[in-house]
Structure 1
């Protein structure tokens, strides 16, 4: 008997369940190097960070809290920041999101948006201060404010894209 489509009760592909979230973060971290854009200050939002936070907020149980180490290392390799910057900051964000997921039982869209916006603002500010330790604090933070605003406004889009990737990830063969 030749059947078309998935069988009832058939599980999703294990390869796709593990690969899609990691690949989306890694591709998003590498994407700014592929775009032909030249700027004096950072204007592109941290795409890898946005996908990382959205996956953490959408599926908090999917990754261990230490997943920020390898994905942060990948982002550090492509962002030009000192090695360990994103590794440490993403891991702290992962721990904070895991902690808040245990404390906040009924979290809605606006809660997730606020958590992602606060995380992006904190991570980008600290990363800028770590990257430029001898520059004036106000000037360094002034450079990343447009990037933080753009990132905050793009969180709903990235949540939607993460949801689409999650549907693809969970789809049966």
Structure 2
């Protein structure tokens, strides 16, 4: 029998269900190494963090709360921050998103954008302070502000890309 399309009730591919979210975050974390850009201050947004937060906000129930630990360790390998910085901060962000999803029942796009923006600002500021503990706090935070602004403005685009990846993940065949 020659079937042309997916059958009614046929589940999506299991490997796509599990691999697409993790692979998108891991590839996004490795992206800065692929770009030939040298800068004296942080200008590239943390794309891995953006994808991680967007997946968490889009599909809160998909990952356990501790998933920030391994994905953050992967990001630490490429970011240049001390090992454990992203692992700890991403895990705290995952806990914050899980907590907010229990408290806010009807979340919309702007709620997600505000939550992502606050988490990006907190994570980037704390990561900069952890990476440069001896530097002047005001100077370090002043250097990271453009990166935070660019990252917050990119959240809608990354959320849209995450939605496209989610549609591919859930597609039958």
- TM category (shorter chain) comes to over 0.9
Calculate the aligned-residue CA RMSD, in Å.
0.4
1:38 aligns with 2:41: no
Name the counterpart of 2:116. Answer: 116
Deviation track 1:120-163 (CA, whole Å, cap 9, x = no partner) reads 00000000000000000000001100000000000000000000
Name the counterpart of 1:131. Answer: 131
Task: For structure 1, list consecutive stretches of 5 or more residues without a partner in the other structure.
Answer: none
Deviation track 1:33-71 (CA, whole Å, cap 9, x = no partner) reads 000101100100000000000000000000000000000
SS in structure 1 of the partner of residue 92 of structure 2: helix
Alignment of 1:125-164 (within 5 A): 125-164=125-164
CA distance in 1, matches of 2:166, 2:148: 25
Alignment of 1:56-135 (within 5 A): 56-135=56-135
Task: For structure 2, list consecutive stretches of 5 or more residues without a partner in the other structure.
Answer: none
User: Number of aligned pairs?
Assistant: 173
Q: Following superposition, which runs of at least 4 residues in structure 1 exceed 6 angstroms of deviation? A: none
1:4 Cα offset (Å): 1.1
Q: Which moved more, 1:23-32 or 1:1-10?
A: 1-10
CA distance in 2, matches of 1:6, 1:99: 37
Name the counterpart of 2:51. Answer: 51
Alignment of 1:17-28 (within 5 A): 17-28=17-28
SS in structure 2 of the partner of residue 159 of structure 1: helix
CA distance in 1, matches of 2:112, 2:121: 14
SS in structure 2 of the partner of residue 146 of structure 1: helix
CA distance in 2, matches of 1:20, 1:37: 27
